[in-house]
Structure 1
């Protein structure tokens, strides 16, 4: 027999037999403890009372063992305000006062605060076996009973199940399921015991939280009654290709009758099918989730309807400029504003000014402009005149043609006052036309005039000089070159596309500034070298002892030179360079100075050439000069 045990007493067995025969329940109500009369003993089934009872109270709990249905567990808690004795025995009593079972208990002292200096609750659990545990009933005094752990856990589980927030499920179904056996759901192989959220059943009343089983599925314990399935129920989904890591909630309003009311679940947060990224246009659902995204490149793609199209804007810009390409405008300063070119007979690129090139159509070209170029008209120093265009006042003129000035009556050879017209009062006729601001008289400029010239310098007729000139102010005439508003800064970049291509020796364009590495390498022919990079690494010391370090793009080549006085012709002389060659000393040479006419010729022997210097010996006492090259 074990050291500590519980026995049904003979009286208890007789009580149990009588209850069974009469069909009455076995009612257990109290438990008592004793000190065994002051010592440990072995209780027997013949006992009808404890040896010495020290306390008695109602049972707190009586329940079946989970693994052995014929075992009963009786529990009692002795309050802290009683004690001062040892517990060595315990007894379980029926409602009729029969000692039903007796317990041999490990000797334990039960203190009491008043006499022992400390107090504690004392917990006793007794396990005993009965032939029919279902007949045993616990009579409970509600004023002293305490909840057992099993009851508390069951109660908590029941109450927690009524809360809206549910324990997470492994997966959420994406279609109608047959609720039987393990299966594949949203890319996950579920097994018995897994929790599953159903939201898309053909019969919406079957939606909800279910537990996978090898046979028929059952609803989860936290959502298996109407009281536990309430509006606003929420649950997280752990896994799944479509629904993994998502939060769902029940949107069905109450009252809800489980297995009768259609249950509707919607995703509150989680994957909506849109790929991660940056989008210019989003579709958002009622919960604020992005369910679609796009990156439109047109106004229509953005759904914008109250704006102009690109062709309409281009037309508005052309109108807003107030001046079409080819319009001539006079400016009082010598710098044309953006979009204009001075009419100076210069040659321009058709790629840079496509609109103006198309407008002029080569009308002022002379034939030497080159392929892809056109020439501007010349207006410097000229008056503008309206084209006759069939009126007959200035017949025979081509649009844009040049015309010499008309004649006026003026005789530069006569210093006497004229009856009419212009005259002059200086004694010399030299430069008189220019002095009056007139062109020199040239017969070829007036092929249909009545002017007749002789071999002399004085014309026969009195009209001897050129054009009459109105009072005027000099302005710079410019032509509109770009099809964009003046001073808007919105020139069509497409017109400059040719200039954005790679520049070459014969082609205008753009080029990047070369890196120092590219300059040093010397193989790139598409970038520009700056002065700083050309000089990078260059050093020079201009003196009797000095050096010149070539730029890095020349490989860092170094030339060093110097002079020293020979102290002795009988010992070696070690000469140090001003700079140490970083890589190697390639060559070095030394020679003695010579005094012209002296006939004293010395020689120098050199050896031990290193990156830092060399060793020499001279045969003469004259100074010695040296030169070294390296890198």
Structure 2
């Protein structure tokens, strides 16, 4: 088995005052556990270091520290009195490609529980614990995944508030890890910023909190998807995704059947229970169905849509959702000259405009059965 040099404990270690950590202790465990894991004094792996490793008067380990190939370690650094100074988890030997990198970086800091959605850390940690960064915390109840909502430093302490995906922090909070990717200057092509701009997915692939997604400006060579006010917001209680179709929305589709989540807008009477959300949105505007258990959908088959006047005056007195029959605006046809043939009139004689009292001029009819513009027939559907 090959062995790789540890990135931790082979350099001089100092205390908080900047002095060598004389008598300090370096304990090694399997990553994420309390199971001791051996380290070795050379790349041969023949001689184990002590566990803990006791630092000498200069703050160095007495021997080199080598790690087993393919093993991820948790390394805890304590002072001579056994007080924990730092914890570093998921440590692999330098150039050990057989250990996969976790997406979570162990902070090594000791969190102080404040509430179900907040904790504090000693010192100014705002550079790492940025608004929008993802966190993994270890609590009595287990691992909780969250997004940083606020991160403020005052009086020597950084206070962090969170939006939890599910569950809450508790007084058993002992460990906090941050996401490998920073919320600032993300390596993603578009930055996903903060709890007000992020869709957070739980392990089962469902969203458990109402978060938002806003696209930032595309940089050079990227399509600009920015829209400052248009956001996608998921409401887990209703299943609505703002920015997509909402219940009661109408659209036209080039298919002849309604897609999933939509009904044909054909005037049908449908269940008030089965389609409760749609009933709450449109009520009996388009018909009360049987008056108790059903209601009617709008019937848009063969109809053109006209914008509701809403007190503008262009279509005065119009009730929202009401049907309007076809009509032709009142008008007249003038006659400047005509040629007639008939009894008592020579064929083809020109006469002045017709003025005889009680007379009628009948023109020849032409055209079809309705007045209409050019059009294409598509299926109108309504979101339920």
TM-score by length of 2: 0.34
The structure showing larger relative contact order (alpha-carbon pairs under 8 Å, at least 6 residues apart) is 2
Q: From the two aligned structures, give the one with the greater helix fraction.
A: 1
Select the structure of larger CA radius of gyration: 1
